Structure 1
Amino acid sequence: MAITDKIYVKNHRQLASQLETSFPKGAFKGATLDVLFQGEGLAKLDEASRERVLEFAEDFMDCDCQASPHCGCPERKFTRYLLELREQGLGPDAIVDVMGDDYMLYAYPGDVLSFLDDSVRTLEAVEALADVDGRGDVADQARQKRDELV
């Protein structure tokens, strides 16, 4: 299961009440993206919530894909965001706090830890395969990225 399947909308009930509709708690569920990011829904949100939703849309949903926002770009961008927070030295608890402050999203720190651990293991595998294939440049890049996450 992808980490983005374990990212949830903070204050879900409050937002559903303001929008006068129901939607899934999962931030990257299709119905959530549709409800929160259509123009008519935004107007119903209080100012603070609207600000966070707009920031999320600007940072993760800005792409030229025809299938946007259901193209996978928001999930890939959010995954990069989590990795960048880790590269800045933040641990799982701090990452959860930052994404809550930035975008009104939450996750369980254990899920974030598992994602980070999986990322390190994947980079280790890339490094080993690149070494076997004689691709020292790729191995070096994977090693550098892994070191930034550890």
Structure 2
Amino acid sequence: MAITDKIYVKNHRQLSSALDTNIPKGAFKGATLDILFNGGEALERLDETTRERVLDFAQDFMDCGCKNAPYCGHPERKFIQYLLELRAQGLSPSAIVDVMTDDYMVYAYEGDILSFLDDGVRTLEAMEELARVDGNEEMQRRARETKRELSG
């Protein structure tokens, strides 16, 4: 299961009530993406702070210009990049959850973020070893450096 399947909308019941529609708990579920991507008038019903965070989320992760947006995969990839950038800044899984909640009113469980980061480290270890076997010193170096950033 992808990490984006484990990202949840904070206070989704209150948002559902304010928007007078059913919003799934998952931030990257189809109905949630539809509301964020096409929300327009409905978002005006939200208080200013909530509306700003929802619009920031839509702008930062869903603004790709693809014909199939928001179902093109770019929102998920952009969010994963955001998580990796937070980790590269030295944030712990707990701090990453706090920042994403403050920035976008979404959250994840700390253990899910930790598992995501651990899976990334394991993948980079495999890449490093494959690059070593293949004699690709540049790729080996890049995998090792990225692994070090993820590991903290």
Instruction: Report if the CA contact (8 A) 2:124-2:143 is conserved.
Output: yes
Written as runs of structure 1 = structure 2, the 5 A alignment for 1:22-101 is 22-38=22-38, 39-101=40-102
- Measure how far apart 1:92 and its partner are: 0.8
Cα deviation 1:38-61 (Å, max 9, x = unaligned): 212222221111100111111111
Distance in structure 2 (CA, Å) of the matches to 1:104 and 1:7: 10
Cα deviation 1:67-121 (Å, max 9, x = unaligned): 1011000100100111111111111111000000000001100000000000111
**SS at the partner of 1:37?**
helix
Distance in structure 1 (CA, Å) of the matches to 2:22 and 2:129: 47
* Unmatched segments (≥5 aa) in structure 1: none
Instruction: Report if the CA contact (8 A) 1:37-1:53 is conserved.
Output: no
Letter in 2 for 1:70: Y
Distance in structure 1 (CA, Å) of the matches to 2:83 and 2:138: 25
Paired positions, count: 150
Letter in 2 for 1:88: Q
Letter in 2 for 1:71: C
Alignment TM-score, normalising by the size of structure 1: 0.97
CA RMSD of aligned residues (A): 0.9
Match of 2:21 in 1: 21
**SS at the partner of 1:21?**
coil
Q: Percent sequence identity over matched residues?
A: 70
* Unmatched segments (≥5 aa) in structure 2: none
